[in-house]
A and B are shown apart, each in its own frame.
Chain A
Amino acid sequence: MSTQTTTRPSTGAEADEAAPAVEVADLVKRYGRSSTPAVDGLSFAVRRGEVFGLLGPNGAGKTTTVGVLTTRVTKTSGRATVAGIDVAADPVAARAVLGVVPQRPNLDRSLDARGNLVWHAAYHGVPRARRRALADELLERMGLADKATTNPDELSGGQAQRLIIARGLMHDPRVLFLDEPSTGLDPQARLFVHDRVAELAASGVTVVLTTHDMDEAAKLADRVGIVDHGRLLALDTPSALVAALPGEATIDLTLTGADVASVRGRIDAVRGIAGVEDLTGERPDTHLRVRCDGEAGAVLAPVLGAVADAGATVSQVELGEPTLEDVFIDLTGRGLR
């Protein structure tokens, strides 16, 4: 990233170096005559150089929030700034300091891959002499060096996504917004995109990504904001969010040959057990999830002892440490959207 130190295009407003990279305060967005707002009083701040994940189910308001921050959606009320620039008051200056990787590919198909990068740089006032070298360098870094003269139509989904990321970086933005960056990508392409995001963060670019992919959020984000119905439900590091869940670890048991109530009663009596859930549902065998206060391994032996005491036979044991997904489900519920 040492090569990314081009002169920034001069704009009406200069970015405020001391301000948070992104700040959203009491943001509300109501579309048309819709009765429920898409974003309903959202507030958060992203530190400079941070990778910030906005996590939420479909329709939670993530994309709308990014839309407001990237000047494509007008807010109803509240405040939104990028690099200290109020995006509503001065969208032109804001556009100069932010980069966008949209959810849907929107590459310019009248231009080849390199053309997409070079003209993007032209829109952003990168000096003519720098554009081509910068484009070739980013193509190289994104593994697209041999695709420079390819039309975007002929790129695979992963290649197109990498080209879009390269395009977003051509004007050396302070903040890069990635909307669902790896939706629809194969595992290799996903990993490549993840690596590039990590690299960007290491080089000091602030990254805001929206996703409904828990693993992606847990892996990439320094902090995660969980959003639903346009409101912020939780905001912390992934590990802190997980640690805050009641019953940190779980033991899943599949068993036969005993009365469920008596087995549950005996397990509940074991020290360090926070609770027992019956997940049997339609299955022929009894399926219990035991929530433990400490590590699952530490209480495994007494739990199995309790099951044996109740006269049941265990056919399968699975230890689980809770994930961000559990936090997510805990906060947003199991209902389908």
Chain B
Amino acid sequence: MSAPTTAPRQAGPGQGRAFLGVLGRDLAVTGKEFGSFISQVLVQPFFLLFVFGVVLGQLGYVTPGYAQLLLPGLLALNAFFVAVQATALPLVIDFSYTKEIEDRLLAPLSTRLVAVEKIVFGALRGLFGSLVMIPVGYLVLDEVAWDLAGLPFAALLLVLGSLAGGAAGLVIGTLVSPRRINVVFAVVITPLLFTGSTQFPFLQLGNLRWFQVICALNPITYVSEGLRGALTPSVPHLPGWLCLLALVAACALFGAIGIRGFVRRAID
């Protein structure tokens, strides 16, 4: 209130409406393509769950408790990856070829907020992709024993994990050229898939210290470990506060780099 004349103009209600408009468009398009979206979200984790949780269990190669360990990991994996895919690929194509995003860049909305919308939209898809794994888990696995008191904290972790995934997708989508996107997906996505402590508990990697260090750099580790702490506390897991802190840091880091990259691509 001290210097109203020099204060930057406040974002009025118009920007909120424009934000909802842009988000609404993305959600409407997802709704139209719901069939392909749901299959993209479900097929891979379903098979992971089925082979590791059911087939290997029946054959006696994994202990019966393994599925308990795996399901929270797959929730974490889907939250992050579905979000990454929702933001990264369309942005690479939009910025390089189709320019379809231009109409939204010309909406009465700050360019940073268009970037934030991309993160939020990716996160919503990630969250959805993660939540649909719950009924699938109940259907495929013989027994899912979750500590229901941990659900609120689990939900918070999934939200943060999805947001981190959306932000990481923004980084990839704005920094990678379309010619390299295949390579990036192969050399970045696959390692992320297997270093996120999805298929194993992080703390039991003591004998593979170097691998544990790599896993510690993967944000999915903190979603997986946090979920285990909340839902299946009998499995060894990292403390909840550490997971929360790491995920907030990942959101902030990827968000900052991603939004910068987005503005750089959007404005000459």
Asked if A9 lies at the interface with its beta carbon under 8 angstroms from chain B, I say yes
Interface string of A100-126 (1 = CB under 8 A from B): 101010111111000010011011110
What residue in chain B is nearest A97 (Cβ atoms)? B108
A110 touches B32 (CB 8 A): yes
CB neighbours of A107 from chain B (8 A): 100
Asked if B9 lies at the interface with its beta carbon under 8 angstroms from chain A, I say yes
Given contacts A31-B268, A107-B100, A71 and B29 within 8 Å (CB-CB): no
A10 touches B14 (CB 8 A): yes
B10 touches A12 (CB 8 A): yes
A123 touches B14 (CB 8 A): no
B18 touches A124 (CB 8 A): yes
Interface segment out of the listed B19-27, B61-69, B138-146, B206-214: B19-27
Asked if B4 lies at the interface with its beta carbon under 8 angstroms from chain A, I say no
Distance in angstroms between the alpha carbons of A110 and B109 in the assembled complex: 21
A70 touches B268 (CB 8 A): no
Partner of A123, one of B9, B10, B29, B107: B107
What residue in chain A is nearest B17 (Cβ atoms)? A125
Distance in angstroms between the alpha carbons of A123 and B101 in the assembled complex: 12
Asked if A141 lies at the interface with its beta carbon under 8 angstroms from chain B, I say no
Asked if B12 lies at the interface with its beta carbon under 8 angstroms from chain A, I say yes
Distance in angstroms between the alpha carbons of A106 and B267 in the assembled complex: 16
Given contacts A92-B15, A109-B98, A110-B29, A123 and B22 within 8 Å (CB-CB): yes
CB neighbours of A10 from chain B (8 A): 12-14
Asked if A91 lies at the interface with its beta carbon under 8 angstroms from chain B, I say yes
Partner of A93, one of B17, B22, B107, B108: B108
- Interface size band for B: 20 to 34
Q: Could you tell me which residues of chain B, from 10 to 54, have a CB within 8 Å of some CB in chain A?
A: 10-15, 17-18, 21-22, 24-25, 28-29, 32-33
B9 touches A12 (CB 8 A): yes
CB neighbours of A167 from chain B (8 A): 103
CB neighbours of B267 from chain A (8 A): 71-74
A125 touches B103 (CB 8 A): no
B99 touches A9 (CB 8 A): no
Asked if A11 lies at the interface with its beta carbon under 8 angstroms from chain B, I say yes
B109 touches A12 (CB 8 A): no
CB distance from A179 to the nearest CB of B (A): 12
CB distance from A14 to the nearest CB of B (A): 11
What residue in chain A is nearest B14 (Cβ atoms)? A11
CB neighbours of A119 from chain B (8 A): 21, 24-25, 28
CB distance from A17 to the nearest CB of B (A): 19
Q: Could you tell me which residues of chain A, from 63 to 78, have a CB within 8 Å of some CB in chain B?
A: 67, 70-74
Interface SS of chain A: loop
Distance in angstroms between the alpha carbons of A124 and B18 in the assembled complex: 6
CB neighbours of A91 from chain B (8 A): 110-111
CB neighbours of B9 from chain A (8 A): 12-13, 90, 93
CB neighbours of B28 from chain A (8 A): 119
B14 touches A96 (CB 8 A): yes
Q: Could you tell me which residues of chain B, from 129 to 166, have a CB within 8 Å of some CB in chain A?
A: none
What residue in chain A is nearest B94 (Cβ atoms)? A106
A125 touches B108 (CB 8 A): yes
Asked if A95 lies at the interface with its beta carbon under 8 angstroms from chain B, I say yes
CB distance from A329 to the nearest CB of B (A): 30
B100 touches A108 (CB 8 A): yes
Given contacts A12-B11, A110-B32, A122 and B103 within 8 Å (CB-CB): no
B109 touches A74 (CB 8 A): no
A125 touches B100 (CB 8 A): no
Interfacial residues, chain B to chain A (CB-CB below 8 A): 9-15, 17-18, 21-22, 24-25, 28-29, 32-33, 98-100, 102-111, 266-268
- Could you give 6 example pairs across A and B, Cβ below 8 Å? A11-B108, A12-B9, A108-B25, A110-B32, A122-B25, A123-B103
